[in-house]
Amino acid sequence: MENLMAFAKKESDQVELYSLEQTANRIEFEAAKLNDIQSTIESGVTMRLIKDHKLGFAYTRNLQDGESLVRNALASLKGGVEARFDFPASVNPPGIRAYDERIKEARNTVIVDECRRIYSRLEGKTKGQIDVTALTGANRIGIMNSAGADLSAMNSYYSITVNILYPGTATGIHRTLVSKAFQSVDDGFLEGIVELYNSGAKELNVRGGKMPAVFMPESMYALIWRLQSATSGESLYHKQSPLAGRLGETIFEEKLTIVNDPLDDTKPGARIFDDEGVTCTKFPIIDRGVLKNFYYDLCYASKMGTAPTGHGFKTSRWSGETISMRPSCALEHLTIEPGDTEFWQLVRSVERGIIVCGTLGAHSGNIPNGDFSIGLSPGLFVEKGAIVGRIKDAMIAGNIYEVLKRVRGIENRVHPAYTGYYPAVLFDDISVATEN
């Protein structure tokens, strides 16, 4: 890497090298049968260079041909992408424990045995098809740049998702556990999924209208996507954010606090620097309903005349190879702080309403403006504080800048879910459309 850096510096004003080594395993069980095992080992290097305030980018998996990497990065300068930022100098970030040596014990045979044990615990307790997916792996990230930064970090992760499908459908109740190393699923976790599933076994035709809605952790991302868009430095720069000029204002219900905390190493994926080498911090987005911060990568911080916030990550809303991505503004470690109400207490407080257990078309609607219009996949129906079945063919719609002002209650614990760690949240007056 040092030789590659020296060679690239001769041809440009600034250079950044990002290296990634990762191993990953994926094990899938479908209807109690082992369906697939995938194991991958990947490595690669990404180069960004700046010359005459223009940005070049290239990546390779052939680590033996560094000269081609430099030539490709130089050739990409012809695209004329402006770069008015500097790569950050080396810092002394706080220490965290993001890697657990015990991840090596998570062999495929161990995980297969765990999946079979889960089936043995659930057998006979539900009529639905049970699918289990387990993911495990580790990665090492390195960042070196011409300003003197020379950073590295290791990370390990293990996750297991249990999904119970309703007969004749592709929808069901699912929940995920995550950790930095293998851990066995406890019976309480499994019993919670079965209880929720069985309570929605009966399919119902109900009248729509405005009603309370409990968003499960697994469906909260449909709302959070809109907030992520509105608080991004990229959205601010392109004048697409409805929150521009509103820092310090109360925009949501005061029960709601949303924090991005990459330093929490009790969870897998903790980071002390982002994918541009900028130090990460615990970063409030919403504090008791008040808009506290916008977030920036190097590029959009320079465009907006402010400091980067440590939120430049190689990520995408859709899948893709990390090594081939350019850093962009991203909130990768979101948490909605828990409330003081147990989940079933939230349910019992609803006279007539729904539970949003999953969504279809969460990307639909005007995301920058906060609008959403999504299908329920599934939606459970609550009457007089009890779940009486699931709704057939229903949709919900609204705008987060109205919905997040109507928080009635928040669950007293968080769960790992897509895009972060969330509790179940009860909202008032959600528009529900059904066949009736």
> What integer pLDDT is reported at residue 431 of this predicted model?
96
pLDDT above 90 for 201 = yes
pLDDT above 80 for 5 = yes
**Local structure of residue 243 (DSSP, 8 states):** T
pLDDT above 90 for 101 = yes
pLDDT above 80 for 154 = yes
> What integer pLDDT is reported at residue 95 of this predicted model?
81
pTM: 0.95
pLDDT above 80 for 321 = yes
> What integer pLDDT is reported at residue 344 of this predicted model?
97
Confidence band of 19 (pLDDT split at 50, 70, 90): very high
Instruction: Return the percentage of the chain with pLDDT > 90, whole number.
Output: 90
> What integer pLDDT is reported at residue 222 of this predicted model?
96
Of 55-69, 194-208, 273-287, which range is least confident?
A: 55-69
Long-range contacts of 413-416 (CB under 8 A, 24+ apart): 413/338, 414/217, 414/335, 414/336, 414/337, 414/338, 415/175, 415/176, 415/217, 415/218, 416/159, 416/176, 416/177, 416/178, 416/217, 416/267
pLDDT above 80 for 106 = yes
> Is there a contact between 86 and 49 (Cβ–Cβ < 8 Å)?
no
pLDDT above 80 for 317 = no
Q: In the predicted model, what is the mean pLDDT of the chain? A: 95
Confidence band of 416 (pLDDT split at 50, 70, 90): very high
Residues 6+ apart with CB under 8 A from 157: 103, 135, 136, 137, 138, 178, 179, 180, 268, 269
CA distance 295 to 265: 21
Tell me what the mean pLDDT of segment 89-99 comes to: 83
> Is there a contact between 133 and 160 (Cβ–Cβ < 8 Å)?
yes
> What integer pLDDT is reported at residue 242 of this predicted model?
97
Burial label for 15, CB within 10 Å (0-12, 13-18, 19+), is buried
Q: Residue 342 forms beta bridges with which residues?
A: none
> What integer pLDDT is reported at residue 430 of this predicted model?
96
90 phi/psi in degrees, rounded to 5 = -65, 140
Residues 6+ apart with CB under 8 A from 170: none
Closest CA to 274 of 335, 326, 321: 326
Q: What is the per-residue pLDDT across 113-136, written as a single tens digit (0 to 9) for each?
A: 999 999 999 999 998 999 999 999
CA distance 388 to 223: 26
> What integer pLDDT is reported at residue 178 of this predicted model?
97
Confidence band of 316 (pLDDT split at 50, 70, 90): confident
108 phi/psi in degrees, rounded to 5 = -60, -35
Q: Helix, strand, coil shares of the chain as percentages rounded to 5? A: 20, 40, 40
CA distance 354 to 214: 6
Confidence band of 282 (pLDDT split at 50, 70, 90): very high
Q: Where in the chain is the domain with CATH 3.30.2290.10?
A: 2-195
> Is there a contact between 263 and 417 (Cβ–Cβ < 8 Å)?
no
> Is there a contact between 209 and 137 (Cβ–Cβ < 8 Å)?
no
pLDDT above 80 for 93 = no
Q: What is the per-residue pLDDT across 27-80, written as a single tens digit (0 to 9) for each?
A: 999 998 999 999 999 999 999 999 999 999 999 998 787 889 999 999 999 999
Tell me what the mean pLDDT of segment 214-230 comes to: 97
Pick the CATH number of 2-195 from 3.40.640.10, 3.30.2290.10, 3.60.10.10, 1.10.10.10: 3.30.2290.10
> What integer pLDDT is reported at residue 140 of this predicted model?
97
Q: What is the per-residue pLDDT across 343-400, written as a single tens digit (0 to 9) for each?
A: 999 999 999 999 999 999 888 788 999 999 999 999 999 999 999 999 988 999 999 9
> What integer pLDDT is reported at residue 309 of this predicted model?
97
> What integer pLDDT is reported at residue 333 of this predicted model?
97
Tell me what the mean pLDDT of segment 212-227 comes to: 97
Structural tokens at position 410: 């928040």
What DSSP element (H or E) covers 107?
none
> What integer pLDDT is reported at residue 37 of this predicted model?
96
Structural tokens at position 2: 């040092």
What DSSP element (H or E) covers 118?
helix 108-122
Confidence band of 420 (pLDDT split at 50, 70, 90): very high
CA distance 281 to 278: 10
Q: Where are the alpha helices (DSSP H) in 219-297?
A: 221-230, 233-237
